[in-house]
Amino acid sequence: MPAVSTNDLKNGMTVAIDEGLFNVVEFQHVKPGKGGAFVRTKLKNARTGAVIDRTFRADEKLERAMIDKREMQYLYNDGTDYVFMDNQTYDQLNVSTESLGDTAGFLVASANAILQMYGDEIVGVELPAAVELTVTETEPGMQGDRVSGARKPATLETGLVVQVPLFVNVGDRLRVDTRSGEYITRA
């Protein structure tokens, strides 16, 4: 892997340090009046999402991690793994539920996702900002129950449970934000 100087860090760059694989969220080059310059960084763990603050000496060398982003199409769930197909090579890839994390609740058949891979390991999944899912189970809204802002739980086709307004019924298609997991609107 190529080494990169801390003076050349950019937001979004991925580096491999002793604690693991981290994305640079923000960095600040500091030159105090007395002593040597240093770089103050905020790093996000690519695997767990935990954010840490780390300070490096100026011109310290870090190992740059090359993240391969592949656009893939979700095909089906075989019971234990999610099966994806690479859009370029048509190779199929089995991905565990642990590797997908929370994004598994937004995947429907033939949906596209960008898998971020470090070697053979999946370190992240990028989905569209919103997806359309069908409601499979929810309580019916009661006539006259029109409290402003009232919500009820609804189970979607992927098994994801979101809070929705009272007027949503079984069979409705909803737009759901993939970043927060919240209801946006009916589709």
Within 10 angstroms of residue 44's Cβ, the number of other Cβ atoms is: 16
> Count of alpha carbons within 13 Å of 136, Cβ hemisphere only?
8
In the DSSP assignment, the letter for residue 44 is E
pLDDT band (50, 70, 90) for residue 7: confident
Q: Domains of the chain (ranges plus CATH)?
A: 3-64 (2.30.30.30), 68-126 (2.40.50.140), 131-186 (2.40.50.140)
pLDDT, tens only, 26-78: 999 999 988 889 999 999 988 778 899 999 998 899 999 888 889 999 999 88
